[in-house]
Amino acid sequence: MKVGRITKWVAVLGALAVTGCKVGPNYKVPAMPAPPAYSEDGHNGAWTSAKPADTSDRGSWWTVYNDAELNDLEQRCATANQSIAAALHAYEQAHDLVRESRSSLYPTVSIGAAASRNRISSTRPLRPSNAAQDYWDFLIPLNISWEPDFWGGVRRQIESSTATAQATAAELANTRLSLQGLLAVSFFQLRGVDLQAQLLRNTLDAYTQALKLTQDRQRGGLSSDSDVEQAKAQLEGTRAQLIDLGVGRAQLEHAIAVLVGTPATGFHIAERPLGGDPPSIPTGIPSEILQRRPDIAAAERRVAASNALIGVAKAAYYPTIVLGTNGSVESSQITQLFNAGSAGWNAGATASEVLFDAGRRKAQLDFAVAQREQATALYRDQVLSAFRDVEDQLSALRVLEEEAGVQNRAVEAAKRSTQLSTLRYKRGLAPYLEVLTNQTIELTDERAAASLVALRILASTRLQIALGGGWNSAQLPQN
């Protein structure tokens, strides 16, 4: 009967521990108003609100650029980049802390074994005259201790650890997005350098023909030595510009090598000029950015983790109750160790309450509240930054598209001007300085137009990153 009553009380206490109250505030996602639409959506028809299917996980977002080499590099980055690997291990550590927190819900059981040879002093007070002076003591103790979670402190700690693990998972996704985005940006910058190099090589061919023309006219007495030297200076200056591109290209190659987890030594990407217009990317509505950006999800989960810690701090105000039982078998003879008469046990409960701590618990509670408010402010700031990032890239795409149209017209005009001045120079109607000036203007305009090709692609890539790259908070693990 006694054992039955003890079992009954343990069951009742266990039920109370599992279903008992949880002190501290229940979590609510911080309110964050979002505008109904992006301001730039009305300025450029290519950047429209997403249809329902557009908000689903797009997976490998870089595939919209239809570049097989970029696709291969992105896959290598995902599997070999060391920063991504470090972020993955950080998530694994956070997940392990969740398991550690959950273990506090259960009893702690320990067992041991001891054997000792003992001698009792023959002059010990009150020693029975017939007691053995030398004896063995064999002992196997079993201890069970459990602190029921009556006030929810452990469960709040589990909530905090779980939210922290989810935040770490979102940070892993954000690390992957950031690094793969940086890889795409570096790749297109390199291709933009290749486009500039192609332009300069074509220009060198044209300047070589211009030098030959000037030399022919100089031999015929129609041009001066100064004209020839000016043509040579322009040719060599342009050749120097082409050589200078090699520095930037090499640095971009080295940066890409690190991103894909490869030593920079020996790493090379074949030259291929960038071309084409950026693809159309649906932006969705601004409120969707709260689910589509992993950095926002990480900041929101940090708020949840901080909120749960308030409950942990409040639980410290309530009594600590520990249930425990100790049992053992003990005998002076090892052959009798497991006899029924060798068993002994005790069971009980202890309760304690701190009466004075000089404000320690109050300080811990205030600290937890301040942590939550800080996390909330950081979350809201992250959301505002996300809206800004999207608007920045939408504005850039609109402005760069307009600029590219104007710049292309400038290139066409410069080409016609160069053709006309060259024709006038051949006929002796214009000095070579006029040809030289128009060629310089043409090259400047062409390089500006080539830069705009790269800038538009880069803006679309950065827009992909600003929109979360197809990620969604539903991908967060539930632990």
Q: For residue 69, give every residue at least 6 positions away whose Cβ sits within 8 Å of its Cβ, in sequence order, or none.
A: 187, 269, 272
pLDDT value at 68 more than 60: yes
Could you report the per-residue pLDDT of 141-152, keeping only the tens digit for each?
Answer: 999 999 999 999
The band of 451, judged by pLDDT with boundaries at 50, 70 and 90, is very high
Q: Which of 218-227, 248-257, 353-362 has the lowest mean pLDDT?
A: 218-227
Count Cα neighbours of 235 within 13 Å in the Cβ-side half-sphere.
16
**C-alpha distances out from residue 299 to 98, 296, 369, 469, Å:** 18, 5, 16, 18
So what's the pLDDT on residue 222? Answer: 84
Q: Which residue has the higher pLDDT, 280 or 57?
A: 280
So what's the pLDDT on residue 47? Answer: 38
The band of 53, judged by pLDDT with boundaries at 50, 70 and 90, is very low
So what's the pLDDT on residue 336? Answer: 83
- Residue carrying the six token digits 């039955």: 4
Look up the pTM and report it: 0.85
The SS3 of residue 146 is strand
What's the mean pLDDT in 87-97?
A: 95
The band of 342, judged by pLDDT with boundaries at 50, 70 and 90, is confident
The band of 335, judged by pLDDT with boundaries at 50, 70 and 90, is confident
**With respect to CATH, is domain 17-104+149-318+359-475 assigned 1.20.1600.10?**
yes
So what's the pLDDT on residue 42? Answer: 52
> Is 117 in contact with 136 (CB distance < 8 Å)?
yes
Q: Where in the chain is the domain with CATH 2.20.200.10?
A: 108-146+320-352
pLDDT value at 221 more than 70: yes
Alpha-carbon gap, residue 34 to 43, rounded angstroms: 20
State the average pLDDT for the chain.
89
Alpha-carbon gap, residue 17 to 107, rounded angstroms: 12
So what's the pLDDT on residue 104? Answer: 92
The band of 52, judged by pLDDT with boundaries at 50, 70 and 90, is very low
- Residue carrying the six token digits 């640095």: 251
Looking at the chain, the whole-number percentage of residues with pLDDT higher than 70 is 90
Q: Where in the chain is the domain with CATH 1.20.1600.10?
A: 17-104+149-318+359-475
Which CATH number, 2.20.200.10, 3.40.50.2000, 2.40.110.10, 1.10.730.10, labels domain 108-146+320-352? 2.20.200.10
Looking at the chain, the whole-number percentage of residues with pLDDT higher than 90 is 71
Long-range residue pairs from 239-242, CB within 8 A, at least 24 positions apart, any chain: 239/204, 241/200, 242/197, 242/200, 242/201, 242/204
What's the mean pLDDT in 157-182?
A: 95
What's the mean pLDDT in 334-344?
A: 84
> Is 242 in contact with 204 (CB distance < 8 Å)?
yes
So what's the pLDDT on residue 54? Answer: 37
